[in-house]
Chains A and B, each alone.
Chain A
Amino acid sequence: MLSTRRLVRGLTTSLIYLVLILLCAFMILPFIWMLSTSFKMPDEVFGFPPVLISRKASFMNYTYLLEQKKLLLIVGNTFFVSLSSSLLSLFFCSLAGYGFAKHKFPGRGPLFSFLLATMVIPGAVTMVPVFIIMRTLKWVDTFLPLIIPGAASAFGIFFMRQYISSINDELIDAARIDGAGEFSIYSRIILPIISPGLVSLGLIFFMGSWNNYLWPLIILKSPDKFTIPLAIASFGGAVGLTNYNAQMAMSVISIIPLLIIFLAFQKRFVEGITAGAVKG
């Protein structure tokens, strides 16, 4: 009896491992193919039999992107937009989170409920009017619409408030008694303590901005201002006219910074994602 049980258990565990490995293969395959195609020649993209590393493999597509397609400019644009919008958002969200978490003031409850309520409204409704506003402000085809509107994000404030709530009140009260101004309490006490949370939230903002396609598509018109997703899409044309190799090369490049950041900050990443979904 006992040995049959152990046999079944052993088999199940092996089965589980098999499924997991197959699943991981499914997850990795697109990346491998992306990488492989980026080093191929145009006629090899749909070559038969399929090759992983072609004999004609070269960096040609990458140099093409660098020299003829302003790769550095586009990556620079994306970095600039993602970084500035993340930092700006972190500032405003942590400030507001501190306000909600550590201050009692008339109307705090209703004001916060209102903030939560704004998260339920789908963004599609405001898409058109906000564009019209941007057009009136002459902000179309600039980076401003990608940075400013999302600066005070309801989710970010919700996250920060939750985070800051757990800070010991005595720390803050002591500082207040010592005569410290509210803003310096924020910058000298709160910010250092919540820095892991800032990283988590910052990662979410950064990644969201880096990968964003719809809004930059609406706002940016000149190729010189394109962000990476826009640039990748610009290689896609009608069947036969699409430069798949350049597309894949650009795709590889789009992933590398995020991959590095993710691998370096895995724990913070996970913390950012699970906040709001799971209590505690």
Chain B
Amino acid sequence: MAVARTVPNVRPADTARRLTWQEILKARWAYFFIAPFYLSYAIFGLYPLLFSIYLALSDFKGLGTIRFVGLDNFRRLALDRVFWQSMENGVLLFILYVPVMLFLSLVLAVLLNSGRVRGFRFFRTLIFVPYITNMVAAGFTFKILLAKTNGLVNIALGLLSIPPVPWLEDVWAARISLSLLIIWAWLGYNMVIMLAGLQTIPADLTEAARVDGANSRQAFFHVTVPLMRPVILFCAVMSTIGSFGLFTEVLTLTGGGPMNATITPIIRIYGVAFGSLQFGYASAMAYTFAAIIFMLTILQYRFFGREG
């Protein structure tokens, strides 16, 4: 193994450079180990990202030559009512299901963690199980349950003398049905994450608050919630990305909803790209979508991520 020898007349910069190259050589195994990721990303990540920009500025329709058309796609996108409806749906869906789901999962986690309820494992498992279901199966099952004529839910409502609800045919009912499906699927997941977060909070903190005279609700809002902020933020960010990225559950349950009431950006991009093969236009759409999501994520972290 070569040993670095200080040679007279050598400048410090040269020694530093030689040392770095030697470091690199010495650590060559580490570079080998991490190389597959960068290689894979170069091919399936970076190159597509750049190619996508090129596509976004073209009118490539899957076959033939790629013709440069400048910002035409973006001009078209600005007027694309379906796309902007899908973005609006993302926001609406977010409002419909995220606060409820996060609040519920936190409360459930606190309840189960408090030791007041026996059968912790049982409840946790049961609430978590929907998460492992694939969304195609879940979507079709919900479709059957929510069918307007003789779907189980409407039959049950009928027992209470409530007329059948058009769960999947009415604009807002469809959005609510979708929210129910998503909450069903993801409540357990969020609850488990909250539980893990709760377990990092020392029990004496809540105890101390109690001793100081706070009742359970005050202890919850003033001690537990602030300490859980990073975890809640994590779940919120995941849900944001999730609510805009919905594809399978929407396609299966409503197909995009009565009159695009539940269509999501991904469904729109997919339809444009693989339905009508407008690769160029779809790329422009995808890029705009990604940029918006990216900004939303950054905003969320800026706004709510401050260490309290």
Chain B residue contacts of A99, Cβ below 8 A = 29-34
A259 touches B132 (CB 8 A): yes
Closest to B180 in A: A26
B144 at interface by CB-CB < 8 Å: yes
Q: Is B113 an interface residue (CB 8 A)?
A: no
- A177 CB contacts on chain B under 8 angstroms: none
* B206 close to chain A: CB less than 8 A: no
- Closest chain A CB from B277 CB (angstroms): 10
| A47 within 8 Å of B (CB atoms) | yes
Write the nearest CB–CB distance from B188 to chain A, whole angstroms.
7
B15 at the interface (CB under 8 A from A): no
Contact partner of B283 among A105, A128, A213, A263, CB < 8 A?
Answer: A128
Is B137 within 8 A of A232, CB to CB?
yes
Is the CB–CB distance between B193 and A125 below 8 Å?
A: no
Flag whether A194 is at the interface (Cβ < 8 A).
no
A111 interface contact, C-beta 8 A = yes
B184 contacts chain A at the CB level, 8 A cutoff: yes
Q: How far is the CA of A131 from the CA of B52 in the complex (A)?
A: 11
Contacts known (A37-B144, A124-B245, A274-B193); A105 close to B27, Cβ less than 8 A: yes
Q: Are A122 and B48 in contact (CB under 8 A)?
A: no
Instruction: Tell me if B123 counts as interface (CB < 8 A to partner A).
Output: yes
A63 at the binding interface (Cβ < 8 Å): no
With A and B bound together, what is the CA distance between A146 and B241 in angstroms? 22
Distance of B257 from chain A, by nearest CB (Å): 16
| Chain A 118-148 interface 0/1 with B at a Cβ cutoff of 8 Å (1 = within) | 1011111111111111000000000000001
**Once the chains bind, are B279 and A128 in contact (CB under 8 Å)?**
yes
The verdict on B136 contacting chain A, using a C-beta distance below 8 Å, is yes
Q: Which residues of B contact A248 (CB under 8 A)?
A: 140-141, 144
Is B141 in contact with A96, judged by CB distance below 8 angstroms?
no
Judging by beta carbons under 8 Å apart, are B151 and A273 in contact?
no
Query: In the bound complex, what is the Cα–Cα distance between A49 and B158 (angstroms)?
Result: 11
Q: With A152-B40, A270-B196, A277-B193 as given contacts, are A106 and B245 in contact (CB-CB < 8 Å)?
A: no
Q: Which residues of A contact B27 (CB under 8 A)?
A: 103-106
A109 part of interface (Cβ distance < 8 Å):
no
Judge whether A251 and B273 touch: CB under 8 Å.
no
Could you tell me the distance between the alpha carbons of A251 and B125 in the complex, rounded to whole angstroms? Answer: 20
SS of A interface (majority): helix
Contacting residues, chain A, for B252 (C-beta < 8 A) = 233, 236
Binds B, one of A13-21, A54-62, A67-75: A13-21
Contact, CB under 8 Å: B130 / A30: yes
Q: How far is the CA of A69 from the CA of B239 in the complex (A)?
A: 36
CA distance A253 to B73 in the complex (A): 44
CB pair A228 B147 closer than 8 Å: no
A121 close to B234 (CB less than 8 A): no
User: A24 within 8 Å of B by Cβ?
Assistant: yes
| Chain A 267-280 per-residue mask, 1 if CB under 8 angstroms from chain B, else 0 | 00010011001111
Say yes or no: B33 contacts A98, CB within 8 Å: yes
A46-B147, A277-B231, A277-B235 in contact; A120/B140 too (CB < 8 A)? no
0/1 per residue, B143-177, Cβ < 8 Å to A? 01101011110010000000000000000000000
Q: Contact: B231 with A103, CB < 8 Å?
A: no
Docked-complex contact B37 and A157, CB < 8 angstroms:
yes
Query: Would you call A211 an interface residue if the criterion is a C-beta within 8 Å of the partner chain's C-beta atoms?
Result: yes
Asked if B247 and A33 make an inter-chain contact with CB atoms under 8 angstroms apart, the answer reads: no
With the chains together, A273 CA to B195 CA distance in Å? 12
- B33, B141, B282, B297: the one contacting A95 at CB < 8 Å is B33
CA distance A251 to B49 in the complex (A): 36
Question: Which residue, of B41, B48, B269, has the highest number of chain A Cβ atoms within 10 A?
Answer: B48
Q: Check A132/B140 contact, CB under 8 A, given A152-B40, A211-B134, A273-B192.
A: no
10 smallest CB-CB distances across A and B, nearest first, come from A99-B33, A251-B137, A129-B48, A105-B27, A103-B30, A211-B134, A182-B29, A152-B37, A274-B196, A46-B150
Q: Which residues in B have some Cβ–Cβ distance to A below 8 Å?
A: 20, 23-24, 27, 29-34, 36-41, 43-45, 47-49, 51-52, 55, 108, 111, 116-117, 123, 125-127, 129-130, 132-138, 140-142, 144-145, 147, 149-152, 155, 184, 187-189, 192-193, 196-197, 200, 230-231, 234-235, 241, 245, 247-248, 252, 265-266, 269-270, 273-274, 279, 282-283, 286-287, 289-290, 293-294, 297
Contacts A/B (CB < 8 Å), 18 sampled: A28-B126, A29-B152, A33-B152, A37-B144, A98-B33, A99-B29, A106-B24, A120-B294, A123-B245, A126-B52, A129-B51, A133-B48, A214-B270, A218-B274, A262-B129, A273-B193, A274-B193, A277-B193
